[in-house]
Amino acid sequence: MMDLTMGISPCPNDTFIFHAMIENAIDTRPFAFKPSLLDVQELNRLAFEKRFDITKLSFYAWLKLRDSYEILDSGSALGRGCGPLLVARSKKLDLTTAKVAIPGELTTAFLLLRLWNPDIKNVESARFDAILSGVQTGRYDAGLVIHEGRFVYEDYDCVKIIDLGDWWERKTQMPIPLGCIAVKKQEPIISYKNRVEEILAHSIRYAFKNPEASREFVKTHAREMDEEVLAHHIDLYVNEFTLTLGDSGREAIRRLEEMAACQNII
């Protein structure tokens, strides 16, 4: 067996779709996948060091790393009604001066925030699971929440300023591209791309067919432990685009690239 290093996030959508690969519930020959579970911003950062053979990336990070990584057709997080939210304790907020917590400067969430309102300048990176508590306690005036945060922000006495996924969909009529799985454009790794895609697609189909199989694995790594929230997270972020990008998924990525290029932020 040939070892391949792999970086994924601990978020339920990733652990759900990769469970079968990691736990050997499916045939992964000729590869043995060696996973590291890290926050997405850390994965984005490490990609610039080419740390992993296969890695989860925010699409914004991938746009900056196109010469180094190639997107796999399977494993991406795209969809509708699943975008990042800008939240605060009150809607009466001057965003040009407010201190806004973001889940990382390489996240697609931050790219969308910049596309929506380029006048937001006072930002500070924080772990995605520390943003809501930071807003609640007043450390931040507002926070850009992703993943499970969109389901629980009201529990932290926060109100929604804008749903950036809804903004994107109204502007483009396309699904929102959030994150992808990419492989190094480096021999011999890139030559394994087709087989890795087959294995990942098999792992995703296994997850769809056996949704209970990964439950404990998902719970072990999740930041939010409520089972209803975990199930909602998976239902929202794991969909037909996860199995294959398709024409509409690829077109959404191209549109994101065009919009970012127009504002000179890639």
Are 82 and 165 in contact by the 8 Å Cβ rule? The answer is: yes
Final residue before a domain boundary, out of 120, 149, 172:
172
Final residue before a domain boundary, out of 147, 172, 197:
172
Are both 66 and 12 inside the same structural domain?
Answer: yes
> Using one digit for the tens of pLDDT, what is the confidence trace for 34-56?
999 999 999 999 999 999 999 99
Backbone CA torsion sign across 176, 177, 179, 181: positive
Q: Pick the catalytic residue: 19, 147, 221, 232?
A: 147
Neighbours of 91 (CB within 10 A): 10
Percent of the chain with pLDDT over 90: 88
Number of domains forming the structure of the chain: 2
147 is catalytic: yes
Q: Is the pLDDT of residue 225 over 80?
A: no
Alpha-carbon distance of 14 to 146, in angstroms, equals 14
Are both 111 and 51 inside the same structural domain?
Answer: no
Alpha-carbon distance of 59 to 95, in angstroms, equals 25
34: tokens are 């060696």
Q: What is the largest CA-CA distance in the chain?
A: 58
3 state SS of 33: strand
Are both 53 and 184 inside the same structural domain?
Answer: yes
* Residue labelled with tokens 């520390």: 130
Are both 58 and 46 inside the same structural domain?
Answer: yes
Are both 197 and 213 inside the same structural domain?
Answer: yes
Domain that holds residue 167: 85-172
Read off the pLDDT band of 224 (50, 70, 90): low
* Residue labelled with tokens 């508590």: 133
Neighbours of 164 (CB within 10 A): 23
Residue 132, CB-side half-sphere exposure with 13 Å CA sphere? 21
pTM score of the predicted model: 0.94
Alpha-carbon distance of 239 to 77, in angstroms, equals 8
Neighbours of 146 (CB within 10 A): 26
Are both 246 and 129 inside the same structural domain?
Answer: no
Q: Is the pLDDT of residue 263 over 70?
A: yes
Query: What is the reported pLDDT for 231?
Result: 86
Q: What is the mean pLDDT of the segment spanning 172-186?
A: 97
> Using one digit for the tens of pLDDT, what is the confidence trace for 102-148?
999 999 999 999 999 999 999 999 998 899 999 999 999 999 999 87
> Using one digit for the tens of pLDDT, what is the confidence trace for 77-92?
999 999 999 999 999 9
Of the listed ranges 89-98, 126-135, 216-225, the one predicted with least confidence: 216-225
Are 160 and 87 in contact by the 8 Å Cβ rule? The answer is: yes
Read off the pLDDT band of 227 (50, 70, 90): confident
Final residue before a domain boundary, out of 172, 202, 217:
172
Query: What is the reported pLDDT for 160?
Result: 97
Tell me, what CATH number does 210's domain have? 3.40.190.10
